[in-house]
Chains A and B, each alone.
Chain A
Amino acid sequence: MIRMQPLRRFGELRLLVLVALLLVTGFVAVVATELASFAPVQPVVPLLFIALAVALHLFLVTIGFRGDQLLLPLMLALTAIGLIEVERLASNLLLQQLSWCVVAAGVFVVAILVPRDLSVLARYKYTWALLGIALLLSPLLPGLGREINGARIWIGVGFAQFQPSEAVKVLLVIFFASYLDEYREVLTMKRLGPLPLPPVPYLLPIILMWGMAMVVMVFEKDLGATLIFFGIFLAMLYLATGQTSYTLLGALLLFGGAYLAYRSFGHVAVRVDTWLEPFAGDTRFSSGYQLVQGLFALGNAGLLGAGLGGGLPERIPVVWSDFVFDAFTEETGFLGGAALLALYLVLVFRGMIIALRAPTTFLQLLAGGLSFIIAFQTLVIVGGNARLIPLTGVTLPFIAYGGSSLVANFLIVALLLRVSDVTARVRGPA
C-alpha cells in the first residue's frame, strides 16, 4: 500500500481515552474487592495494555492509514474487559493473557502492513482452502493433536497449544469470498426444474463443507466449531447469491446431521439433553452443573449487578473460558450484559457498513463474512450461556481467556480495517 501523509485520527484517540479509563476503573474495582481496601497495587498490566493501545493508534497514524476509526477502540474495549475478567476470575493467567495481547497486536500490525494488495487473498484461494482443511484435520494426527476437556481440537508443539479452528474460520471466509465472487453468476442461475439448484459441479463445495463439518463434530467432538463453520458457509452463500433456498437446504443438512449425531453419539446427546432439562434431578450435579451455576450467576445479576468483584461467578467451572459472559453480567447486571451485547452489535454493524461500501464484490464478501464470524460466535456462546441454545464450546470474541481466539479476532479486525482503508482511498473519505 502507498505511504501517505500522517492522518490525524482524533475520533479514535478520544474513544481510546475512554477505553483506558474503563480498564483502570474495572481493575481498581476488582483488586479493591479482592484486598478489601484501596491499597496501592502494581498497575503494570493496565499500563502495559494502555501503552499497547496507544502504540497501535500511533502506528495507524504514522502510516497514514485512511480506514475506519471506530473498530480499533471497539476491539480494544472488548479486550480490556477481557483482561478485567481474567484478573477477576483467574488472576494467575493474567500475564499470559497480556502476552497473547502483544502477540495478537503483532499479527494485527503485520496484517495491516504486509499484503500489498488484498486481491492476493483472492488469487491464492485454493491454497487458503487446503491450508484450512489441513489445519482443521491436524488435531486428529497422533502426536500432534491433543484432547482437552473432551474435545480433540488442539494441536500442541512443545509447551504451546494452539486451537487451529480459530485460524480456519478466517481462511474459510477468504476462500469463500473469492470462490463465491468467481462463481456467483453460475450459482444464481436457476436450474433443475422447480429446484433452484446450481449445476452439480458447483454443488460440490457445499457437500464438501457439510462433510467437513460432520468430521469436526464426530471425530473432534467440537460442536461449536461445527456450528461456526457451517454458519459462515451458509451466511456467505446467502450474501453471494441471495438465495434463501440454499441457506435452507444447508441448514436442513446441518440439522439432519446433528439429529443423526444426537441419536448416535453420546457427547451430542448429552449436550442436548442437558440443555433441555439442566435443573432436572441429577443433571444439575453432573452434565448440567456448569450451565446451572451459570444461570445462578445470571440470576444474581438483577439490573445493576453485584458489582465488579462482588459476585460469585468463580463457582462456575472453567468460567474464564466458557462462561465469561455470565460472570461479567452477574457483576455488572442486566445493564452491563446488554451493553456488552450492544458493543458487539456496533462492531458488527461497523463491519457490515465497511462491507457495503467496499469497491469490489470480493471485498464485500470478505468484510461481510468476517463481521459475521464475530456476530455469530457471540450469539452462539451468549445463547449457550443464557440457555437459549445448547451450550457449545465457542469463545466469546476478545473477552474469553485464550490466545488462539484473541489472535484470530485481531486478525479479523485488521482485515476489516484494510478493506475500509481501500474503500476510503477509492471513494474518498466519507
Chain B
Amino acid sequence: MEVTFAVLLWGVRIAFLVLLYLFLIRAFAALWRAMRVEEAVAAKPTGLAFLVVQKSHSGGPRSGARLPLRALTSIGRDAGNDVVVNDDAASSKHALVSFRDGEWWVEDAGSTNGTVVNGTRITAAERLHYGDEILIGRVAMRLEQ
C-alpha cells in the first residue's frame, strides 16, 4: 500500500487509540497494585490484641476501628501516644495498656477524667479480660483478640 496522507492519518488515529489503551493499562496496573496492598493491609493481623472502638464521636477514632495493641500501649490525646484519642474529655497522657505474663492490664496515667473499665472508674492497675470495655473520655473501646 502506498504511504499516502490518508494512510498516515489513519496511522495517527490508530496511534491515538493505542496510546489511550497504553495509558489505561498503566493506570489499571497502578490501581491493581493499590488494591492488592489494601487487601494485604486489611488481612494482616498486627498487634497481639485489639481495642475495638464501640462508641465514638466526630474527630475521634471511627466506630468499629480495630486498634492494634503492643506489649505496652499508651493511650491519650497527644499525638505521641500509640493510640490517639482525639477527644476533649481525654487527657494528653491518659492510660497505659500492658501485656504481662499472658495477661492484659490497664492503668490510669494520671488523667483528669479517669479511666473507666466496665462502668467502674479504676484507681489502680486493673486486670482486663477479652470483652471488657474501657472508656477513655467519650470513646468506648472493647478488648478483643
**A and B touch in their complex, CB below 8 angstroms:** yes
List residues of A whose CB falls within 8 A of some B CB.
11, 14-15, 18-19, 21-22, 25-26, 28-29, 32-33, 36-38, 69-70, 73-74, 77, 119, 122, 178, 181-182, 184-185, 304-305, 307-310, 331-333, 335-336, 339, 342-343, 346, 349-350, 353, 356-357, 359-362, 364, 430
B48 interface residue, CB < 8 Å from A? no
**A80 to B, closest residue via Cβ:** B23
A136 to B67, CA, bound (A): 42
Contact A70–B57 (Cβ < 8 Å)? no
Contacts of B23 in A (CB 8 A): 15, 18-19, 22, 73, 77, 343
Tell which of A22, A74, A307, A353 touches B38, judged by Cβ atoms closer than 8 Å.
Answer: A353
Chain B, Cβ-Cβ closest to A14 = B26
A331 to B10 Cα, complex, angstroms: 12
B22 contacts the other chain (CB 8 A): yes
Q: How far is the CA of A331 from the CA of B35 in the complex (A)?
A: 33
* Closest Cβ–Cβ distance, residue A351 to chain B (whole Å): 11
Assembled-state Cα–Cα distance A156/B95 (Å): 58
Chain B, residue nearest A77 (CB): B23
Q: How far is the CB of B19 from chain A (nearest CB, A)?
A: 5
The residue in chain B whose Cβ has the minimal distance to the Cβ of A32 is B9
Is there contact, CB below 8 Å, between B19 and A21?
yes
The reply to whether A335 and B17 form a contact with Cβ atoms under 8 Å apart is yes
Q: A19-B23, A122-B58 are in contact. List 6 more A-B contacts (CB 8 A).
A: A11-B30, A15-B23, A70-B34, A332-B16, A360-B60, A430-B41
- Asked if residues A73 and B27 are in contact (CB atoms below 8 Å), the reply is yes
Distance between Cα atoms of A335 and B30 in the complex (Å): 21
The B contact surface, by secondary structure, is helix
Q: Is B31 touching A346 in the complex (CB atoms < 8 A)?
A: yes
**In contact, B27 and A74 (Cβ under 8 angstroms):** yes
Q: How far is the CB of B68 from chain A (nearest CB, A)?
A: 12
Contact call A308/B61, Cβ cutoff below 8 A: no
In the complex, which residues 48-96 of chain B have their Cβ closer than 8 Å to any Cβ of chain A? Answer: 55-63
CB distance from B34 to the nearest CB of A (A): 6
Interface centre among B59, B60, B61 (most CB of A within 10 A): B59
Contact B30–A336 (Cβ < 8 Å): no
A29 pairs with B24, CB closer than 8 A: no
Q: A21-B19, A22-B20, A357-B38 are in contact. Are A37 and B5 (CB under 8 A)?
A: yes
Chain B residues with CB below 8 A from A69, complex form: 30
**Nearest Cβ in chain A — how far from B142, in angstroms?**
16
Any chain A CB within 8 A of the CB of B100?
no
* 10 pairs, A vs B, C-beta closer than 8 Å: A11-B30, A37-B5, A69-B30, A178-B58, A304-B14, A305-B13, A346-B31, A357-B41, A359-B62, A362-B59
Which of B8, B17, B34, B60 contacts A304 (CB under 8 A)? B17
- Are A350 and B58 also in contact (CB < 8 A) when A307-B9, A339-B21 are? no
Chain B positions within 8 Å of A, measured between CB atoms, are 5, 8-10, 12-17, 19-24, 26-28, 30-31, 34-35, 37-38, 41, 55-63
Q: Which residues of A contact B17 (CB under 8 A)?
A: 304-305, 332-333, 335-336, 339
- The prevalent SS among residues of A at the interface is helix
CB-based nearest A residue for B9: A32
What are the 10 closest A-B residue pairs judged by CB atoms, nearest first?
A307-B13, A361-B62, A18-B23, A25-B16, A22-B19, A29-B12, A430-B37, A70-B30, A346-B27, A29-B13
CB distance from A324 to the nearest CB of B (A): 15
User: A343 contacts B27, CB within 8 Å?
Assistant: yes
List the A residue with the shortest CB-CB distance to B40.
A430
From B13, B20, B34, give the contact of A350 (CB < 8 A). B34
Q: A352 CB to closest chain B CB, in angstroms?
A: 10
> Which residue from chain B places its CB closest to the CB of A68 in the assembled complex?
B34
Question: Cβ of A357: which chain B residues have Cβ within 8 Å of it?
Answer: 38, 41
* A19 nearest in chain B by CB position: B23
Q: Give chain B nearest CB distance to A127 CB in angstroms.
A: 16
Give the residues in chain B near A178, CB-CB below 8 Å: 58
Q: How far is the CB of B55 from chain A (nearest CB, A)?
A: 7
Give the complex CA separation of A184 and B12 in angstroms: 53
Measured CB to CB, the closest approach of chain B to A117, in angstroms, equals: 10
Cα–Cα distance between A28 and B11 once the two chains are bound (Å): 11
**Known interface pairs A304-B17, A361-B63, A430-B37. Does A28 touch B27 (Cβ–Cβ under 8 Å)?**
no
Q: A430 to nearest B CB, angstroms? A: 5
CA distance A182 to B58 in the complex (A): 6
A92→B14 CA distance, assembly (Å): 26
Nearest Cβ distance between residue B96 and chain A, in whole angstroms? Answer: 22
CB distance from B20 to the nearest CB of A (A): 5
**CB-based contact A25/B19 at 8 Å:** yes
Known A-B contacts A18-B26, A346-B27; A364 and B62 likewise in contact (beta carbons under 8 Å): yes
- A26's nearest neighbour on chain B, judged by CB, is B16
- Given A29-B9, A37-B5, A343-B24, are A350 and B31 also a contact pair (CB < 8 Å)? yes
- Please, which residues of chain B bring their CB within 8 A of the CB of A182? 57-58
Closest to A183 in B: B58
* Min C-beta distance of B47 to chain A, whole Å: 14
Given A339-B20, A361-B63: A15 and B27 within 8 A (CB)?
Answer: yes
